[in-house]
Amino acid sequence: MKCRRCHGLMVVDHFIDVENTGYLWLCGWRCVTCGDVVDPEIMQQRQIQRSRLGRLARSLTRKPRKVFDLVKLSA
């Protein structure tokens, strides 16, 4: 597996859970070059973040709706 940050080598590593989510030991991936850590929870949060950014980008790139001015007609 290659690191998404630096394209270095990722190795399996074991981590201690300090937030006490119920699991004492976590298994994840660590880059031997830059030290980036990825575990299932990190991957899930990054996926959520990407989907939010995608929705925001799509909403900003939408074409604006045409706005019509109301003209009062005299009788």
pLDDT in tens, 35-48: 999 988 888 888 88
Structural domain contains residue 29:
yes
For residue 59, what pLDDT is reported? Answer: 75
The residues, ordered by sequence, that sit 6+ positions from 35 with a Cβ below 8 Å of its Cβ are none
Return the half-sphere exposure (C-beta side, CA atoms, 13 A cut-off) of residue 67.
2
27, 29, 33: which is closest to 7 by C-alpha? 33
Structural domains in the chain (count): 1
Structural domain contains residue 27:
yes
Residue 50 structural domain? 10-58
Structural domain contains residue 69:
no
Structural domain contains residue 4:
no
Which residue has better confidence, 25 or 2?
2
Structural domain contains residue 71:
no
Structural domain contains residue 51:
yes
Q: Rounded to whole angstroms, what are the CA distances from 63 to 9, 44, 71? A: 43, 31, 25
Structural domain contains residue 74:
no
Task: Read off the pLDDT of each residue in 54-72 and give the average, rounded to a whole number.
Answer: 73
Tell me the pTM: 0.56
For residue 12, what pLDDT is reported? Answer: 94
Structural domain contains residue 44:
yes
